[in-house]
Amino acid sequence: MEREAVLVGIDVGTTKVCALIGEFNRDGSLTIVGKGAVPSTGIKRGLVNNIEQTVHSIGEAIEHAERLSGYKIDRAFVGVAGQQVESQNSRGAVAVSGHSREVSREDINRATEVARAISIPSNREVLHVIPRGFIVDGQEGVKDPLGMSAIRLEIETHIVTGSATAVQNLRKCVEAAGVKIDELVVSALASGETVVSETERDLGVAVADMGAGTIDLALFVDGSPFHTAVLPVGGANVTNDVAIGLKTSLQVAEELKVRHGTCDLGSLDDDETISVSVLGEPAGRSVSRLDVCRIIEARMRETFELLKAEMDNAGRGMLPAGLVLTGGAAQLAGAAELGREVLEMPVRVAAPSNVGGLVDNLLTPAYSTSIGLLLWGARRVVAEEPARYESAPALGGLGRLRDALRSLFP
């Protein structure tokens, strides 16, 4: 199988940093050849709050991935979270240039630049300018106008911005770990690459990547995003509530949540108890599992109410395909059922699929952003910059063994 490119994705999350190396093949398949996932330090709610610790975590994840793959990482697609991510839609129009009056790539680029020239505060940085559709001489719904005869070209774009200081701090940490950034990608858009289908994107669907510190939300319709946001809540809020309610440590609370937690209170036995170690009580004590899950359900219900409010403001009625939950916190039992009850729309939990290679423990919702970053990069390779990545210059160099093998078997 001939390889098209080697790509790297780095997801810097609140609880873990994950670096993945993938080989993108000419048949369109993706094979994971290196992975490194380490506990994250120096990050809170998706934002860097200690540069030295964050650089160390990124470096450790990269080192693990390099060791497994035999590749040397020197550039990557990097995920962006944090509650300062915002979005808006903008239009730009230009007259089609040239004697033939055919839409050229230059015309599309000029229209995009006009759409991009909106008033953005100096404390914000543009992360994405994504074409949503084109209008050619009044004809709406054009997906690709290249080569069409026209006098006027109009483009609608989805523009995503982030806090300039938060983005600069993340960039500083990645570069200090010895990696150049190919592109900073908002986590919800990366996750959307791997957990929703083209049909769902066309119909109208929302993706909520539920991490420990934040929920990254993206709403799609007609095949492209129209609203992107980050909510400052996540799985850690549930853990905190359990720790406070039971007067126990965060570590014990997290374990209780993962092992015994559910949002489906109707499925529980009133008499079931679980043993909990309590601060100040060496022997610990028994607590009702129903009481623990009431705490979990209350916080998750509140979380879905926040999602509902955000989606209502953006246009929840445009999402017949419903909401797709992914991310580590989406793995909580009963989450989809509670989501359906609160949001009154289809809700499902999704994990990455159709990926080969070193996928042990990777095909879970917790790794949707990491794998989505590779798929985002693969789309860029095919659509925009194939020459940049051919023969794997996406990495600093290939392992010597692989070089030798390829010279023997071209």
The model's pLDDT over 263-281, given as tens digits with 9 standing for 90+, comes to 999 999 888 999 887 776 7
- Chosen domain end from 142, 164, 186: 164
Instruction: Answer whether residue 336 is part of any domain.
Output: yes
Q: What is the DSSP string of 192-232?
A: HHHHS-HHHHHH-EEEEEE-SS-EEEEEEETTEEEEEEEES
pLDDT bracket for residue 285 (50, 70, 90): confident
Tens of pLDDT, residue by residue over 226-249, are 999 999 999 999 999 999 999 899
CATH code at 207?
Answer: 3.30.420.40
One domain for residues 201 and 157: no
Instruction: State how far the Cα of 34 lies from the Cα of 65, in Å rounded to an integer.
Output: 4
One domain for residues 228 and 335: yes
State both tokens at 78: 């990097």
Please classify residue 383 by burial: count the beta carbons closer than 10 Å to its beta carbon, then call 0-12 exposed, 13-18 middle and 19+ buried.
exposed
Instruction: State how far the Cα of 71 lies from the Cα of 65, in Å rounded to an integer.
Output: 8
One domain for residues 261 and 321: yes
Instruction: Answer whether residue 11 is part of any domain.
Output: no
Instruction: Answer whether residue 172 is part of any domain.
Output: no
One domain for residues 100 and 239: no
- Give the mean model confidence (pLDDT) for residues 153-167: 94
Amino acid (one-letter) located at 186: V
Instruction: Answer whether residue 228 is part of any domain.
Output: yes
Query: What is the DSSP pairing of strand 224-231 with strand 16-25?
Result: unpaired
Phi, psi of 300 (to 5 degrees): -65, -35
Phi, psi of 22 (to 5 degrees): -130, 145
The total number of structural domains in the chain stands at 2
Instruction: Answer whether residue 252 is part of any domain.
Output: yes
Instruction: Answer whether residue 316 is part of any domain.
Output: yes
Instruction: State how far the Cα of 188 lies from the Cα of 368, in Å rounded to an integer.
Output: 9
Report field, pTM of the whole predicted structure over 0.85: yes
One domain for residues 308 and 218: yes
Instruction: Answer whether residue 36 is part of any domain.
Output: no
Confidence at residue 110, expressed as pLDDT on a 0 to 100 scale: 94
One domain for residues 221 and 266: yes
Tens of pLDDT, residue by residue over 196-216, are 999 999 999 999 999 998 999
Instruction: Answer whether residue 15 is part of any domain.
Output: no
Q: What percent of the chain has pLDDT over 70?
A: 91
One domain for residues 341 and 203: yes
Instruction: State how far the Cα of 213 lies from the Cα of 211, in Å rounded to an integer.
Output: 6
Tens of pLDDT, residue by residue over 88-134, are 999 999 999 888 889 999 999 999 999 998 888 889 999 999 999 99
Residue 178 has pLDDT above 80, yes or no: yes
Domain housing 293: 197-349
One domain for residues 204 and 287: yes
Residue 267 neighbours by CB distance under 10 Å = 11
One domain for residues 311 and 269: yes
Residue 402 has pLDDT above 90, yes or no: no
Phi, psi of 94 (to 5 degrees): -140, 160
Instruction: State how far the Cα of 89 lies from the Cα of 111, in Å rounded to an integer.
Output: 14
Query: What's the farthest any 2 CA atoms get from each other in the chain?
Result: 85
- Give the mean model confidence (pLDDT) for residues 282-306: 92
Instruction: State how far the Cα of 346 lies from the Cα of 323, in Å rounded to an integer.
Output: 6
307 and 217 Cβ atoms separated by less than 8 Å: yes
- Chosen domain end from 111, 142, 164: 164
One domain for residues 260 and 135: no
One domain for residues 158 and 270: no
Tokens 């693969």 belong to 378
Amino acid (one-letter) located at 277: S
Residue 77 Cα distances to 80, 102, 351, angstroms: 10, 34, 20
Instruction: State how far the Cα of 82 lies from the Cα of 49, in Å rounded to an integer.
Output: 12
One domain for residues 243 and 321: yes
Please classify residue 355 by burial: count the beta carbons closer than 10 Å to its beta carbon, then call 0-12 exposed, 13-18 middle and 19+ buried.
buried
CATH code at 91?
Answer: 3.30.1490.110
Confidence at residue 42, expressed as pLDDT on a 0 to 100 scale: 86
